[in-house]
Amino acid sequence: MSSYFWNVLIWIDQGVNTWFAPLLNFVLDSKKFGDPDETLSSVFGKEVRSGNCKTCYYICRMLHWIDPGHCKKSIEDDEG
């Protein structure tokens, strides 16, 4: 049951990345949001790595309190 729940959370995360891509790209001055097979954390991590998004940096810092290194671990270089 736990893997099912985890898969549903990832599906929601990818859906939010896809559905809200125009808004996220505009607000965060990015062009990386929107890949339907990529999570928000992966995009945030890529933006932090490239140094393009201060807001993404702070989001990753908040996620770090819950799961240390979350954005960095979530980066999918083969997506996006």
The whole-angstrom separation of Cα 70 and Cα 23 is 23
The whole-angstrom separation of Cα 52 and Cα 70 is 18
The verdict on residue 66 lying in a domain is yes
The verdict on residue 40 lying in a domain is yes
Give percent of the chain above pLDDT 90.
Answer: 89
Q: How many domains does the chain have?
A: 1
Question: Model pTM?
Answer: 0.89
Range of the domain at 22: 2-74
* Cβ atoms within 10 Å of 34's Cβ, excluding its own: 17
Contact 80, 32 (CB under 8 A): yes
- At 67-78, the pLDDT tens digits run 999 999 999 988
The token duo for 78 is 């083969």
The verdict on residue 80 lying in a domain is no
